[in-house]
Structure 1
Amino acid sequence: MSLITLTTDFGIKDHFVGAVKGAIYSELPDAKIVDITHSISPFNITETAYILKNAYKSFPKNTIHIVGVDSELSVENKHIAILLDDHYFICPDNGLISMIASEIQPTKIVEINIHNHISTSFPVLDVFVKVASHIARGGSLNVIGKEITDYKKLIEIQPKTNQRQTIIKGGVLYIDNYGNVISNIHKRFFQKIGKGRPFVVSAGRYRFKKIFNRYNEIVDLTLPEEKRQYDGEKLALFNSAGFLEIAIYRSNLGTVGGASTLLGLQYRDTVTIEFEEIVKPEFIPIT
């Protein structure tokens, strides 16, 4: 039985998702299809990269991941199939794979070339499904495309630091279902640059001097329960995926609102961390 996942910006109102699933079952009646999400913001590549990176690792090896976001074929947006971390990804070469491939080198990449025999305005249905079915039957990647060695990099996924390594400059990568604002600054990068130095996180007009590892760490458990009034408090933390997140504790989008709304933070807004600079003492030679 083949396991195939779908990640798209199709939504669920239209026929697109149903048509793709129907085409897969027509090719592979025993396939198992899992929806990662169909609620990606339209054409949002970085959002796709973040969700896919954090979802695919939970699936077994040899899972086939079809990614349909910004998938229209063009000279600048080719289609690729990748074997990476023992998983197969069928997707446009628009940079979305770079968040995963930045940590794990792909085993093989091919540029899909079966378009020569297919005229389509719906490549996820007409091309990606055929490629996934070929892989599921044990077919070689070389049959559906020519091997290439590189893929498009998404530069905005990577945070930057200055020469003195006193500042990390990142940005808002994703806003989740709770309205929490997730940056592209990973805990490993923070620790590598910061080296334990005091710091200030700046997000919009707000400043944070502490980063938590869990939401409820903001609660002072030494206080009596009736005095713990932390709902709606803003905090910075490293989320379960290891990325720096700005959140509102126990936010409710229907009443209080999330961090994105209350703090005025949106996709691509700047998030910076400024570290205390270590000043080396000057030694005056004794004469």
Structure 2
Amino acid sequence: MILRRAVLSPISLRSEGSSTDPLPNISEPYSRTDVTIITVLTDFGLKDPYAGVMKGAILSINPKARIVDITHEIEPQDILEASFVIDESYPSFPKGSIHLCVVDPTVGSTRRALVLHRGGHFFVGPDNGLFSSFLDDTAEVREITNTRFMLPHVSHTFHGRDVFAPVSAYLSLGARLSDLGPLVSDPVRLQDRMPRITGGRLEGRIVRFDRFGNAISNISIRDLEGFVKTGSFLITLGQTQFASLNKTYCEEPHTCLIGSSGYLEFGSFLGNFRDQTGTRKGDPVTVRLT
């Protein structure tokens, strides 16, 4: 046990078929000449050709698109992890950027395909809670139904290539959201994504691990400061407790700090916190006042 005491400072998609309509005529007023950045986030990994093929679909429509890989190493089917990674990543890109996110366990089912615009950024992907953090009153959310913006043949198993990549490419050329499909008023939201205060405690959980084995929670610095305000506190993860926040990973054998993403995380100096402590995704993290 490590214990220190301190004070915290003040989308319904067709599954198969082809369109007899010609491809959209991307011309004025569609043409976009300012920003053509398309970021890509998936759980495809790098062993298979899926990520590359999806980028090929983009470049076949817009050869000038600037494609940036966020990651293809999201844990398979882990929508929650993906939602936090895109939330952490998108602010680093200029307004007008298009964020293509494909973690899609129910591909080919009746789940909707979405495009949304919020804060100057565009997001394209499945309606499964992936974009939960962007679903406020300022977001314009639409279901992608216009097959003219898809590949001619849409498979049951690869909407990333056949739907989401082409839509992203056409957006980069200036396609209007209103041309893609109707407004959506009930997008899927992940339940219990954020921490909650109950019984005088702030309760969160571990949502992902980075390459170094650091355990990253869903408790943000804003959550922590709002709960603690001023005074002393105790943070508990498994059998390890912390009564202060570190600033760097090298201050203690085990550290608790606010990482670069703005969330509470746990690490080990020159080690792997996950392996050393047996911490797993979903493990509870609690903060109580002392």
1:142 aligns with 2:178: yes
Deviation track 1:66-124 (CA, whole Å, cap 9, x = no partner) reads 1111161423x32100101211110111112113x26x654311011135975312101
Match of residue 165, structure 2, among 129, 146, 158: 129
1:110 aligns with 2:145: no
Measure the CA separation in 1 of the matches of 2:247 and 2:162: 44
Aligned residues: 251
Residue 154 of structure 2 aligns to which amino acid in structure 1? Answer: S
Gaps of 5+ in 2: 1-32
In structure 2, the CA distance between the partners of 1:105 and 1:213, relative to structure 1 (3 Å rule), is: farther
Contact 1:214 1:238 in 2 (8 A): no
1:61 aligns with 2:95: yes
Partner of 2:280: 266
> What secondary structure, in the 3-state scheme, does the structure 2 residue paired with 1:57 have?
helix
**TM, length-normalised to structure 2:** 0.81
State the shift of 1:5 in Å: 1.1
Contact 2:83 2:132 in 1 (8 A): yes
Structure 1 residue ranges (4+ consecutive) displaced by more than 4 angstroms after TM superposition: 115-118
Contact 1:47 1:174 in 2 (8 A): yes
Deviation track 1:47-79 (CA, whole Å, cap 9, x = no partner) reads 11121111111111111111111161423x321
Measure the CA separation in 2 of the matches of 1:267 and 1:61: 32
State the shift of 1:271 in Å: 0.8
Partner of 1:215: 249
State the shift of 1:42 in Å: 0.2
In structure 2, the CA distance between the partners of 1:106 and 1:118, relative to structure 1 (3 Å rule), is: farther
Measure the CA separation in 2 of the matches of 1:243 and 1:265: 17
Residue 113 of structure 1 aligns to which amino acid in structure 2? Answer: T
> What secondary structure, in the 3-state scheme, does the structure 1 residue paired with 2:92 have?
coil
Residue 174 of structure 2 aligns to which amino acid in structure 1? Answer: G
Task: Please list, as runs of the form range in 1=range in 2, the aligned pairs for 1:119-268 lying within 5 A after superposition.
Answer: 119-120=154-155, 121-162=157-198, 166-216=200-250, 218=251, 230=252, 233-251=253-271, 258-268=272-282
Partner of 2:113: 79
**TM, length-normalised to structure 1:** 0.82
Bigger radius of gyration: 1
Gaps of 5+ in 1: 219-229, 252-257, 277-287
- Higher RCO (CA-CA < 8 Å; seq separation 6+): 2
> What secondary structure, in the 3-state scheme, does the structure 2 residue paired with 1:91 have?
strand
Identity %: 32
Partner of 1:95: 129
Question: What RMSD in Å do the two structures reach over aligned CA positions?
Answer: 1.8
